């Protein structure tokens, strides 16, 4: 297909196949940006969504050894920790006082604590703070909990719902291509299991997100394959709220990548995600992995969501990201406004809550 026909097909909003999706990478960055921008604009206008959330990572002890990971306790990071429920509740309380409406709780696969510690975290938070939205347990964690306790995925999902988990994060997807996956995270949840768990979660009428870790040893074809597998599942379940391309962080891990993605390739990937995923409502530029500067630019390349203020983050920052202490709300909102978009505070399920205005203090 010629580039002209490809552009026309996108503008006509017709679905692209694998070859066409791959060919999008050959378009120049401005054409690609404007195609994705047009779709974003049709869907969301100039709105850029975010939420006031707090990430909690209760343990970094992990039985798995993903090569890209700098977070889990290992030779590169000898500092093991596992929080008690009291410590987690204190963090939750502090976050809620600061306005958090969502707790995003993701852990390593700790074989020493038992499933009751995981589920107890959620039920105790929910008991104390019934209105908080708990987004917790990736497919990888669910797979770990199921296998280490001889439970089915459905049984773990039952426990999650009973314990107050409201939605699932999209982590653990990495790259679905089995060969790449085998190399970077052998032993972790398989691609099919990842998809199956989300399917089961969606069957309960619950929503989740989907991620893709890119910029390591995968190539463009692997990214498109990943995106298309998500599109296929979304056609069946309609349970993904957003797609989050996560950029590989280069420090403190065992992958030893020498060549990193250019900003151009990253922006193209956001744009292609927006164009190809015609059935997933939101594309999130998760600033913890892209830097806030690139995330703001990604708004012009199809991204309509910048995640949130985060408050504190351990996973990406262990690998070099500048996200350890999150961003202040005022700064976050001002940055979105100054980049020409309309900041919209949303809840975890994308209901619009607030159009924040930042008042300048009067000088007297
Ligand atoms: S990415 Fe997750 S599962 Fe893999 S080693 Fe790190 S904490 Fe463990």
Nearest alpha carbon to residue 297 among 36, 113, 58, 8: 36
Residue 9 has pLDDT above 80, yes or no: yes
Question: Alpha-carbon distance 206 to 237, whole Å?
Answer: 10
Q: What pLDDT does 361 receive?
A: 45
- Region 187-207: mean pLDDT is 97
Average pLDDT over residues 1-5: 91
Cα–Cα distance between 304 and 284 in angstroms, integer?
6
Whole-number pLDDT of residue 319: 56
Pocket residue to mutate for ligand 1, from 64, 175, 289, 319, most atoms within 8 A of Cβ: 64
- For residue 241, the model assigns a pLDDT of 97
Q: Is the pLDDT of residue 304 over 50?
A: yes
pLDDT for 79: 85
Q: Which protein residue's CA is at the shortest distance from atom 2 of ligand 1?
A: 108
pTM: 0.93
**φ, ψ for residue 290, nearest 5 deg:** -100, -15
Q: What is the distance in A from the centroid of ligand 1 to the CA of 73?
A: 9
Residue 146's pLDDT is 98
- Nearest alpha carbon to residue 250 among 169, 190, 322, 182: 322
Residue 65 CA: nearest ligand 1 atom is 5
Percentage of residues in the chain having pLDDT higher than 90: 78
Our separate counts of H helices and E strands in the chain read: 15, 10
Q: How confident is the model at residue 315 (pLDDT cuts 50, 70, 90)?
A: low
pLDDT of residue 362: 47
* pLDDT for res 298: 97
**pLDDT value for 22:** 98
pLDDT tens sequence across 99-119: 899 999 999 999 999 999 999
Q: Ligand 1 centre and the CA of 171: distance in Å?
A: 10
- Residue 330, pLDDT > 90, answer no
Region 45-73: what's the mean pLDDT?
A: 91
Look over the chain and give the mean of its residue pLDDT values, rounded to a whole number. Answer: 91
Question: 293 C-alpha to center of ligand 1: Å?
Answer: 27
Tell me: the pLDDT tens digits for 141-182? 999 999 999 999 999 999 999 999 999 999 999 999 999 999
Give the whole-angstrom CA distance, residue 103 versus residue 48. Answer: 20
- Structure letter (DSSP) for residue 52: -
- The secondary element (H helix, E strand) that includes residue 246 is strand 240-247
């Amino acid at each position: 297909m010629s580039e002209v026909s490809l552009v026309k097909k996108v503008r006509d909003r017709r679905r692209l196949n694998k070859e066409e999706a791959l060919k999008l990478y050959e378009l120049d960055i401005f054409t690609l940006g404007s195609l994705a921008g047009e779709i974003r604009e049709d869907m969301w206008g100039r709105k850029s969504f975010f939420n006031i959330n707090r990430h909690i990572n209760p343990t970094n002890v992990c039985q798995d050894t993903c090569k890209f990971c700098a977070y889990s306790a290992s030779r590169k990071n000898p500092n093991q920790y596992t929080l008690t429920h009291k410590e987690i509740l204190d963090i939750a309380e502090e976050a809620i006082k600061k306005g958090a409406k969502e707790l995003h709780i993701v852990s390593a696969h700790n074989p020493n604590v038992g499933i009751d510690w995981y589920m107890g975290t959620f039920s105790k938070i929910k008991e104390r703070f019934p209105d908080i939205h708990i987004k917790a347990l990736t497919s990888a964690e669910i797979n770990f909990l199921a296998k280490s306790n001889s439970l089915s995925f459905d049984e773990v999902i039952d426990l999650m719902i009973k314990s107050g988990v409201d939605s699932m994060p999209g982590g653990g997807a990495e790259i679905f291509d089995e060969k790449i996956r085998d190399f970077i995270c052998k032993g972790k949840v398989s691609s099919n299991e990842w998809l199956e768990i989300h399917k089961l979660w969606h069957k309960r009428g619950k929503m989740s997100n989907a991620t893709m870790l890119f910029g390591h040893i995968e190539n463009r074809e692997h990214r498109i394959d990943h995106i298309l597998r998500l599109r296929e599942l979304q056609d069946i379940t309609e349970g993904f709220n957003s797609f989050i391309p996560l950029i590989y962080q280069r420090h403190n891990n065992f992958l030893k990548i020498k060549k990193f993605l250019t900003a151009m390739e990253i922006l193209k990937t956001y744009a292609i995600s927006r164009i190809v995923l015609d059935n997933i409502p939101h594309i999130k530029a998760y600033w913890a992995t892209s830097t806030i500067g690139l995330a703001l630019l990604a708004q012009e390349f199809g991204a309509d969501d910048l995640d949130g203020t985060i408050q504190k983050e351990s996973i990406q920052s262990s690998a070099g990201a500048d996200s350890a202490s999150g961003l202040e709300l005022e700064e976050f909102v001002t940055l979105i406004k100054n980049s020409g978009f309309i900041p919209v505070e949303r809840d975890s399920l994308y209901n619009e809550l607030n159009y924040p205005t930042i008042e300048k203090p009067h000088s007297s």
